[in-house]
A and B are shown apart, each in its own frame.
Chain A
Amino acid sequence: MERNPSKFWNPYAGGVALGLVLLVTFLLMGKGLGASGATYRLGVWAVSGLAPSHAERVPAIAAVLEDGHPLDDWLVFEVVGVLIGGVLGAITSGRFSREVLKGPTFSSARRIGFAIAGGVVMGFAAKLSRGCTSGQALSGGAAMSVGSWAFMLSVFAGGYAVAYFLRRQWR
Chain B
Amino acid sequence: MTTIFPIEALSDERRALGMAVAVVVGIGFGFVLERSGFGRAQKLVGQFYGYDFTVLKVMFTAIVTAMLGLVVLSSAGVVDLAAIQFNYPTYLWPMIVGGLLLGAGFVMSGYCPGTSLVATASGKLDGVSTVLGVVAGGLVYAHVEPALGAFPNSGKLGALSLSAWLGLPAPIVAAFVVAIAIAAFLAGERIERMVAGAAEAVAPTGAARKWIFVGLVAVALAGVAMLALPTGTSAAP
Contact = CB atoms under 8 A, between A and B. Distances in A.
A binds B: yes
B22 interface: yes
Interface in A94-124: 95-103, 108, 111-112, 114-124
Interface residues of B, number: 133
Interface string B142-178: 1101101000100001011111010000100110000
Interface in A54-90: 58-61, 74-75, 77-90
Interface in B80-118: 81, 83-85, 87-92, 94-118
Given A27-B79, A81-B30, A157 B23 contact: no
Contacts, number: 547
A96 B124 CA distance: 8
Nearest to B50: A163
Contacts of B117: 35, 39, 79, 82-83, 86
B201 to A, nearest CB: 13
Contacts of B173: 144
Interface string A1-44: 00000001111111111111111111111111111100110111
B129 A159 contact: no
Interface in B42-59: 42-43, 45, 47-49, 53-54, 57-59
Interface residues on A, range: 35 or more
A121 B29 contact: no
Contacts of A33: 25, 29, 114
B41 interface: yes
A60 B142 contact: yes
Contacts of B105: 117-122, 125
Provide the main secondary structure of the chain B interface: helix
Contacts of B218: none
A161 B100 CA distance: 9
B70 A26 contact: yes
Contacts of B89: 145, 147
A150 B102 CA distance: 13
B197 interface: no
Interface in A123-167: 123-130, 132-134, 136-163, 166-167
A151 B203 contact: no
Given A29-B7, A85-B34, A101-B41, A15 B61 contact: yes
Contact of B95 (A25, A61, A154): A154
Contact of A121 (B69, B122, B137, B205): B137
20 contacts: A12-B205, A12-B209, A19-B66, A26-B79, A29-B3, A30-B2, A35-B117, A60-B141, A79-B26, A81-B22, A88-B30, A118-B105, A144-B170, A145-B160, A151-B102, A155-B99, A163-B45, A163-B107, A170-B41, A170-B49
Given A8-B35, A84-B27, A117-B109, 16 more contacts: A11-B53, A14-B32, A18-B62, A30-B83, A46-B135, A58-B142, A85-B121, A101-B41, A119-B134, A121-B104, A125-B137, A127-B137, A129-B95, A130-B95, A146-B90, A159-B106
The 5 closest A-B pairs by CB, nearest first: A119-B133, A81-B26, A123-B137, A15-B61, A158-B103
